Structure formats: structure tokens, C-alpha cells
């Protein structure tokens, strides 16, 4: 690669990164706006709207609801996704592609289509959105592919010989799984769980379609707020969500590293 082409590629990458980061930077700076309306550039710098946001009981309830929902969806996705990944790697055989497409389908389809399909399904069976199970099911479907992909990546190349050797030396099936298979899958389980949490916490379409009466996750509550208010408090809430996402990504990097492998 010539020096000119290298300079061109470097400039292109920088411009793309600036393009992707610009909305985030604008939102974060707007959250420090000292004025009464959401404007950019800020009319002075202040932490005023962060204190207003933290004192808003509606947003506090929405954050708590989103956190509980994300933890519940992540826990279910970890169990189902890890089980599906182990089956895919070790036992699927000729059904590998079927399993792969079936688990990844919610990731392939637009989120709004998944949300509408679930909405029709739950009303068809007479449940509607009255019960917590409706929105929880939607969040599990959205987070499951991330757990599955990460665990499959961790187990890539595993042929079961080590576990069979442990069984031949007297280890029970559970002991072999706990001492061999689970440690191999641990990096994928951790990173998949972290990303599943943040995907669930920030999911909008599924939450908007399937939320029950009197409840609203944070993204939906923020949307409702912006319909009638246009203050920097909305930017402060968005900054909180951005910081949470960054913290999860840093945690994933520190715990297991952000490795990308093809499988």
C-alpha cells in the first residue's frame, strides 16, 4: 500500500468515526445545557438537568423497570442460549444450519416486525400485553442471538474429546460439564450476558409494542417525554443510557476481551 493510499484510508476511517460519534457527542453536550430548552450548541454549561432527571420519580421508576427487565431477559437468554450453543457445536450435525437460522432469526429480521408478530400472537392467544411475560418474551428473543453467538465462538473447535476423557477417568456427566465445558464457554457467557443486558435495556420497538398498562421501560418513557417536553432533561437521560452502554462494553473488554472470530 502506497503512502497516499494509506493516508486516504486513514482519513476515510477518521471521517466515518466522526460521522458515527457526532450524534452521541451532540446529545452528551446538550445534556449540560444551562438553558430551558434542548438546543445545540448549549447555552452555557450546567449540571442542572442531571439533578432534575435524578429527582424525577417517573424516570427513576422507568430505569428500575428497565433494569429488572434486562436482568430477567439476560438470565433466561443465558440459560437457553448456552444450551443451544452447546447443542449446535456438539450435537446438531446436519441440523446445524436450521438451529443457527432459528436462533438468529430475531436478529436478522427488523425489530419492529418481531414486535408486531409477538403482539398479534399474544392477543390471538388471549393474553395481550397485560402480563409481564409478553414483554419479557420479546426481550428474550432480542437478546438470545447475542448469547448464542458469543458462546458458540468460545466453544469453536471443541470436539468433546477432553470431556470424554474426563468421563473415562470416572467423572460424572455433570462434573465433566462443570469442570471442562463450562470453563471453555465462560468467556462467551460473560460477554454474551453483558451485551444481552444492554440490548434489552435499550430496546425500543419491542418495549413499545409489548409494554403493559401503567408500565414503561426507559426508552419508551423517554419517547413519551419528548412528545410533550423539549428540555435538556431528555438529553441527560440519554447520556445516562450512553454511559451505561460504554460501561458494559468496557466491562466486556476487561473481562474477556472483544474478540471477533468467524464460525
Q: Which three cell numbers mark 215?
A: 408500565
How open is the CA angle 186-199-136, to the nearest 5 degrees? Answer: 95
| 142 vs 199: CA distance, rounded Å | 8
Q: What is the dihedral of CA 239, 242, 246, 251, to 10 degrees?
A: 100
| 216 vs 207: CA distance, rounded Å | 8
174-222 residue pLDDT tens:
777 777 777 777 888 888 888 899 899 888 888 888 888 878 888 888 8
What's the structural domain count of the chain? 1
The answer as to whether 34 is a domain residue is no
The answer as to whether 35 is a domain residue is no
| For residues 49-70, average pLDDT | 86
Q: Please count the other Cβ atoms lying within 10 Å of the Cβ belonging to residue 51.
A: 12
The answer as to whether 11 is a domain residue is no
Q: Is residue 168 scored above 70 in pLDDT?
A: no
Query: Taking a C-beta distance cutoff of 8 angstroms, is the pair 84, 143 a contact?
Result: no
More confident residue, 65 or 231: 65
Q: Which three cell numbers mark 149?
A: 453467538
Residue 218 domain boundaries: 56-255
Residue 163 sits in a domain whose CATH number is 1.10.3720.10
The answer as to whether 175 is a domain residue is yes
Helices (H), 109-232: 111-124, 132-154, 161-168, 173-176, 182-202, 205-210, 218-228
Query: Taking a C-beta distance cutoff of 8 angstroms, is the pair 81, 144 a contact?
Result: yes
The answer as to whether 8 is a domain residue is no
**What are the φ/ψ torsions at residue 88 (nearest 5 degrees)?**
-60, -40
The answer as to whether 6 is a domain residue is no
pTM for the whole thing?
0.80
The answer as to whether 138 is a domain residue is yes
Partners of 202 in beta bridges: none
The answer as to whether 1 is a domain residue is no
Amino acid at each position: 500500500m502506497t503512502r497516499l493510499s494509506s493516508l486516504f484510508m486513514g482519513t476515510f476511517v477518521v471521517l466515518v468515526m466522526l460521522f458515527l460519534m457526532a450524534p452521541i457527542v451532540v446529545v452528551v453536550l446538550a445534556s449540560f445545557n444551562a438553558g430551558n430548552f434542548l438546543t445545540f450548541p448549549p447555552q452555557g454549561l450546567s449540571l442542572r438537568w442531571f439533578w432534575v432527571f435524578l429527582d424525577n420519580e417517573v424516570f427513576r421508576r422507568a430505569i428500575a423497570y428497565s433494569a429488572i427487565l434486562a436482568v430477567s431477559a439476560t438470565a433466561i437468554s443465558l440459560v437457553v442460549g448456552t444450551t443451544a450453543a452447546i447443542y449446535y457445536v456438539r450435537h446438531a450435525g446436519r441440523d446445524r444450519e436450521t438451529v443457527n437460522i432459528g436462533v438468529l432469526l430475531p436478529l436478522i429480521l427488523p425489530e419492529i416486525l418481531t414486535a408486531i408478530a409477538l403482539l398479534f400472537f399474544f392477543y390471538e392467544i388471549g393474553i395481550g400485553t397485560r402480563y409481564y411475560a409478553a414483554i419479557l418474551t420479546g426481550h428474550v428473543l432480542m437478546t438470545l442471538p447475542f448469547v448464542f453467538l458469543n458462546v458458540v465462538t468460545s466453544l469453536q473447535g471443541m470436539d468433546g474429546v477432553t470431556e470424554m476423557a474426563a468421563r473415562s477417568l470416572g467423572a460424572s456427566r455433570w462434573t465433566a460439564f462443570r469442570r471442562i465445558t463450562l470453563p471453555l464457554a465462560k468467556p462467551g457467557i460473560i460477554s454474551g450476558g453483558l451485551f444481552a443486558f444492554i440490548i434489552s435495556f435499550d430496546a425500543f420497538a419491542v418495549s413499545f409494542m409489548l409494554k403493559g398498562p401503567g408500565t414503561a421501560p426507559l426508552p419508551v418513557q423517554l419517547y413519551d417525554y419528548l412528545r410533550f417536553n423539549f428540555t435538556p432533561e431528555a438529553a441527560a437521560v440519554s447520556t445516562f443510557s450512553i454511559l451505561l452502554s460504554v460501561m458494559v462494553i468496557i466491562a466486556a473488554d476487561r473481562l474477556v476481551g472483544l474478540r471477533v472470530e468467524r464460525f
